[in-house]
Structure 1
């Protein structure tokens, strides 16, 4: 029969063996330390009361986790555009896109400044329309598409895609214009009277038809905004989405700000919210018209944008203004 000393010795050996086995499986070896998630107790630091929202890293509210399914990432590799024109359009508006390509959106119109025209779309639920846009893109190389559903309520995503594209693939451009496919743009006034290529490029610049208004609570309205989504009684000043112009540095600022700004479906209001966060105040310019205006050669010579112009009207206006430059008003 074993003695008490022997039993105690065996018990000690077993306890040490058990302890070593537990430590071996509960602690990673040095080989794997860099690859395992090991909780580390951190010392509590004194809170800095001067910390502001701008220097705190927060999880994005709108990560914009969409991929480019059609892209023109090499558009600005060999040139630095004076102006990038971002045109919000839909799949069925081929005639409007073609009219713009052949009139005010023609990139070869001005020999002394480089203009870049980009059409913005999402993905359609009809795959035939998607294939048609892909074929159009292969011909003209002026279309950018992300894989969100193309709809009225996703117009904000479309505009943020444009901002992202400029910031990522054309950051050295001087100016950007965002507009729609039913807008006529008087390019002479835009280039030479507003932006003035011979002057020093502006920074943190934003202009268009400035609207000071508040949310519409009528659910029957196209521009309805619920109190849950936007509880404030006033919108910050914003430019009509039919056409606004800004310095290219603002594209990157707006896109990054949008990642931490609650999404609203009213695109122009949303851009205004981002501008308020950035401390950028949009400038009013009466040359931007967000309504239909009866055609008159002299009237159209004084404006920058006109709304609700059909492809046929676009050709007629452009040809008239181009062929009658010698006429005085």
Structure 2
């Protein structure tokens, strides 16, 4: 019996030893895996910082599993994991380590500037940027109201598109490109890029206007409003004015591009925040929001992140301009024609032809004080931007 017992003990000892080895190997593998994502993100950012025509962004996304924005839920999990203080060795939580590849940093050199406008745009939206330059963001309007304008965007994996962007930049000197991948789920990167650029290169203005490139602004009526007694009573500090959303429901429909899982955001309603279409901020608020973004975990819904989370973090309240917005694009033209009291200032419009028609109406209202706003800017081949 004793030899059999000894053999049994030996077998048991071998099993225990093998089990311990497997556990140790699994633990080591988990540690490597946990460290791998931040390392891959760092690699991706370093590769983008060295971006040139030889970088294949599409293959980079496949290799790292970080820049592929088709799987939105996974990207959000990865980004949140990367910015979680518990898995990040050093602050800040959301460092936004991107570099400006195209940077008109001398845009705001003039000491007389009062307003800075930055417009969220996608690299492919050449025609929309032309629309802005020919209407409410024209040189005549900008000079009249001591304004400057830039268009904020990231990179796309299309050499032709980025070549046109470079051409626009050389022609107008109003393009800002940062080296994040320009996609829907990366709009918060674009939002941070905008306030980062303004904070660094345009902090001598009083007010900052953020807009999208499918928006028409009645700039002349807006400037009259900015000089009104009510707006002046708000002062020029700690200010954000916008179309405020209250109790906006979080979309749980998985078929929607706005779908948000309970894991990403557990509440059924968002706290108050602004429509991302257009909002107006004081320059001090912009600078404080950018600083706050460095310590605020990334969340892909850009308008909520910027005007909800960051605004709350710096402790200011929204000033409501809701009655001045027409955000139903299908009704924008008709509503402008019906606006006998001239109360509407901001219009979301899908069709460029409608925007030009609406701008003509607005010009008539202001007695043609901006006669050259619809002329094509010089030295530009419009057909090359189609």
TM-score above 0.5, yes or no: yes
Give the deviation of 1:195 after TM superposition.
5.1
- Distance 1:107-1:247 versus aligned 2 partners, 3 A rule: farther
Gaps of 5+ in 2: 1-89, 369-386
- Say yes or no: does 1:299 pair with 2:336: no
- Say yes or no: does 1:231 pair with 2:272: no
Q: Tell me the number of residue pairs that the alignment of Structure 1 and Structure 2 aligns.
A: 270
User: What's the counterpart of residue 247 of structure 1?
Assistant: 282
Give the helix-richer structure, 1 or 2: 2
SS at match of 1:216: coil
In the aligned structure 2, how far is the partner of 1:206 from the partner of 1:291?
A: 23
In the aligned structure 2, how far is the partner of 1:91 from the partner of 1:253?
A: 28
In the aligned structure 2, how far is the partner of 1:60 from the partner of 1:145?
A: 23
Give the deviation of 1:289 after TM superposition.
2.8
Q: Which structure's CA Rg is the greater one?
A: 1
Give the deviation of 1:152 after TM superposition.
0.8
Q: TM-score, normalised by structure 1?
A: 0.77
Gaps of 5+ in 1: 1-57
- Say yes or no: does 1:275 pair with 2:311: yes
Mapping for residues 75-86 of structure 1, pairs under 5 Å: 75-86=107-118
Give the deviation of 1:89 after TM superposition.
1.0
User: What's the counterpart of residue 357 of structure 2?
Assistant: 316
Deviation digits for residues 277-311 of structure 1, max 9, x if unmatched? 11111121121232222333352832111112422
Give the deviation of 1:320 after TM superposition.
2.4
**Of the candidates 284, 288, 294, which is equivalent to residue 325 of structure 2?**
288
User: What's the counterpart of residue 211 of structure 1?
Assistant: 245
In the aligned structure 1, how far is the partner of 2:93 from the partner of 2:263?
A: 16
CA contact (8 A) 1:124 1:150 kept: yes
**Of the candidates 165, 170, 174, which is equivalent to residue 142 of structure 1?**
174
**Of the candidates 141, 151, 155, which is equivalent to residue 187 of structure 2?**
155
In the aligned structure 2, how far is the partner of 1:80 from the partner of 1:298?
A: 37
Q: TM-score, normalised by structure 2?
A: 0.66
Mapping for residues 182-201 of structure 1, pairs under 5 Å: 182-194=214-226, 199=232, 201=235
Give the deviation of 1:324 after TM superposition.
4.2
- Distance 1:232-1:184 versus aligned 2 partners, 3 A rule: same
In the aligned structure 2, how far is the partner of 1:67 from the partner of 1:85?
A: 21
Give the deviation of 1:199 after TM superposition.
4.9
In the aligned structure 2, how far is the partner of 1:298 from the partner of 1:110?
A: 27
In the aligned structure 2, how far is the partner of 1:145 from the partner of 1:195?
A: 33
In the aligned structure 2, how far is the partner of 1:323 from the partner of 1:220?
A: 44
